Amino acid sequence: HPAHESEALFASGTCYVRLGDTDQAIGAMRAVAAGDPQRPVTVNGSLALADLYRRQHRSDEAAALLSDLIGRVPRDRRPQLCLRLGAVQLDQGNATHAIESFTCALQAPEADAQAAALAGLGDVQMFLGRYDQAEILYQDVAERTDQKTMSAYATYQLGRIQLAVGRVDDAIDTFGP
């Protein structure tokens, strides 16, 4: 598709998402994702399509889409895709691949993206029951990021770890005002 057609399809797909018409949104985003991976709209359409697949519990399709795209996009776009792929892989219970993807995402130049990758690595450690490793990662995220949502998430996860290992007083302090 020419760039303007892809952008129009992306806009219509976004409208369908807002209207709750997932099938139409998927159709539009599939058309966008089929475009030139060197164009940002193709990458954004692919990310949106992967999110739609995840919402429908179609993680295999989301993972395949993102895995394929990672090798075809400019190097500077890969960390963003790796971050999303890591989340999908963790949804699938594939900790090994999720670690690889979140580690790839650490290459992002933006501090917030790096913090999200560290949080993803913390999530993997939680999934594996390695609370000591997860705690270190979430602590790093909480101290590193200026993004309130990511900091709050990391702090919440720290409190969950403290409860899981029986450090109730620490959890009270973490969750407290």
Please tell me the distance from the alpha carbon of residue 3 to that of residue 121, in angstroms, as a whole number: 36
> pLDDT by residue (tens digit) across 53-108?
999 999 999 999 999 999 888 888 899 999 999 999 999 999 999 999 999 999 99
Q: CB under 8 Å to 61, separation ≥6 — which residues?
A: 53
Model-wide pTM > 0.85 = yes
Please tell me the distance from the alpha carbon of residue 71 to that of residue 103, in angstroms, as a whole number: 16
Please tell me the distance from the alpha carbon of residue 13 to that of residue 60, in angstroms, as a whole number: 21
Q: CB under 8 Å to 51, separation ≥6 — which residues?
A: 62, 84
Distances from the Cα of 78 to the Cαs of 47, 111, 116, 126, 142, in angstroms? 12, 15, 14, 25, 24
> pLDDT by residue (tens digit) across 17-38?
999 999 999 999 999 999 888 8
Residue 121 and residue 99 in contact, taking contact as beta carbons nearer than 8 Å: yes
Lookup: tokens for 30: 């599939």
> pLDDT by residue (tens digit) across 136-162?
999 999 988 778 889 899 999 999 999
Residue 175, helix vs strand vs coil: helix
